[in-house]
Structure 1
């Protein structure tokens, strides 16, 4: 199956893993012979604010006939011993890493399902970025570990 002309959404595509994924997608499209392509950035989208995410996806839906893939890369880590990490830090990490993944994924699926309400299973892919922290704990980053465990738990039932 060719990826040519199939739009992808990448969160946090301006830095880190997200930027590397955006660059790789652009390279793949060029290798497939795409003579022109469009890249849109929404740098001000706060993934923990459902309203902002909905607005971004509505704008994307106006510009593209069909979404093909989503890569959730937005995330943060705050390093503190478990005994020092305060509630605000813990909540912020969970809100961005887990809540942001939930908000973006559900808005993506809302748009995809609206595109083709007759499809039994949409022709789309969703990749949620985890880490080794999705599978095991590490010291000094309890909020991050908890959030990545939860992202894995959120992703698993989406496979079907």
Structure 2
């Protein structure tokens, strides 16, 4: 986890996108960056508001009641072998301390491996999650799932710049 400003993230992350555009269509791929990208939609049953102004960004605001799920979904089956890292920015809002899991799914089939992420009080944190930690290997997926795995409601938090690379 790295604390990061938008300017620093854009300088590094978008340079990777530009480099990837010259390669085959195997990524990088944006799911969300100041709004949903073409071919992606939001699912789950957590309360969410896309493109909420926060500092100089427009993240999706997420409020999860106990056991809630929030997803970024696409209509296409993506190959895990085409990507090495899933990157996203998380802001904990004024209170922070949110803890939720990240995992991948193909339809209703969820991969068992998950990674825990945390919202930091009043600041952005960059998470670079290696696909090997999600144990998808050569499997396919179409959903990025964030889950509140507790009986407690989480304070609102924000997610932006969801990039598969």
For normalisation by structure 1, the TM-score amounts to: 0.34
For normalisation by structure 2, the TM-score amounts to: 0.33
Q: Relative contact order: is structure 1 or structure 2 higher (C-alpha 8 Å, sep ≥ 6)?
A: 2
Higher strand share: 2
Higher helix share: 1
